[in-house]
Structure 1
Amino acid sequence: MDHLRYSGLPFEAQCEAFLDIVSGDPLIHEALARARMLALPDWLVVSGALYNSVWNHLTGKPSGYGIRDVDLFYFDNSDLSYEAEDAVIRRAARHFEGLALPVEVRNQARVHLWYPQKFGQPCPRYTSASESISHFASKTHAVGMRYDAGGRLELVAPFGLDDVFSFRITPNRVMDNQRTHEAKGARARECWPEITVVAW
């Protein structure tokens, strides 16, 4: 199987392939459909569930292989309290009941409030769900999908898709996330030995 068949293609071709592969995955298809019905403000299904599904498709692995959870971001700065986010998390838990993987929901308007305590460094105050993914430790992981107002699938990929289709995990040095980049890279290589991890 030619797992690199989309590597190096123009972004438009890679975008079409990415949307086709991910929306054709039964697990992600259902997660996106349910996320749309949940109707959170500025929502995005992001990261691992998406690019892992592409790697599974291109290496002949089953749906869900190597995927721990589905990350669902939203952005709501109308109430930055823990209680408001927790209420959304509990509502989402009921909404996604029965999905094959757990769904982790996080309000990106609140990240700057807890990030320093958890990771020991400051984090910018994001202005959208899309902005937050551009600060992921690895550029490869910065992908998000949602349905737009017209019901069309929309892709957010601030660094493009060539890293995903090249099975290459590239560092994003906008923040000091070397440990996260290396840990996620090592885990990914255990599941997909075709991957190359670019040194920090």
Structure 2
Amino acid sequence: MIIHTEEDVILLVKQDKWLMDILRTAAQLHLPDWWVCAGVVRSKFWDVLHGYQEPTPAADIDVIYFDPSNLDEENEKVLEHRLAELRPGLPWSVKNEARMHKVNNLPPYLSSVDAISKFPETATSIGISLSSVGEVLLTAPWGVQDLVHLRVKPTPFFRAAPNGAQIYEQRIAQKQWTRQWPNLSIFGMTD
């Protein structure tokens, strides 16, 4: 499959039974401003672009939402438990981005999409969701070009952040993505 545009990305999501099941399961929580994002989405595309028939196992399935009216972290655990009841055996991770800025020592996020724009890599700064009528939604604050061209680059936010270089370089070293996806091009902070 050739993937070049946001429309191609949405089409691939629509055609992927597993991702659609993830989205439909997450939608049952009826969370405000919710998205399935980061590694589980990115890895799916990297697998497809590498021609892998079997998906890379997900370390976690990130479901984020934005609800400033309930910042209790325990609520996120309740939601993870609910997802595990709805779809057992998956590594669900639920985070309310209305509180995550504190964890990341950043100014408050304005929305889930704002939080996604502050993820470290452009190819990871991607989220998918379902509209109220079941249409696949995509957010890609820095576009999909790095994702679909197998490029790992820091987001503009991380390029400008005081400790962005350190965090980005640590993630690249820790993740060792080229072991799983050898066609990736890894870019540094100044590339």
TM-score (norm 1): 0.82
Q: Which moved more, 1:72-81 or 1:62-71?
A: 62-71
CA RMSD of aligned residues (A): 2.0
Provide the rounded CA distance (Å) in 2 between the counterparts of 1:61 and 1:180. Answer: 29
- Secondary structure at the counterpart of residue 141 of structure 1: coil
Distance 1:26 1:136, change over 3 A: same
Are 2:104 and 1:106 aligned? no
**Long gaps (5+) in structure 2:** none
Residue 44 of structure 2 is aligned with which of 43, 46, 53?
53
Q: Output aligned runs, 1:15-164, within 5 Å.
A: 15-65=6-56, 67-98=58-89, 101-115=90-104, 122-164=105-147
SS in 1 for 2:98: coil
Does structure 2 retain, via aligned residues, the 8 Å contact 1:140–1:161? yes
Question: How many positions carry a matched residue from both structures?
Answer: 183
Residue identity in the other structure for 1:167: L
Aligned AA (1:171): P
Whether the aligned pair in 2 keeps the contact of 1:41 and 1:75 (CA below 8 Å) is yes
1:188 aligns with 2:177: yes
Q: Distance in 2 between matches of 1:91 and 1:141?
A: 25
**Where in structure 1 are there 5+ consecutive unaligned residues?**
116-121
Judge conservation of contact 2:38–2:127 (CA < 8 Å) in 1: yes
How does the TM-score come out when normalised to structure 2? 0.86
* 1:45–1:70 CA contact under 8 A, matched in 2: yes
- CA distance in 1 between partners of 2:35 and 2:8 (Å): 19
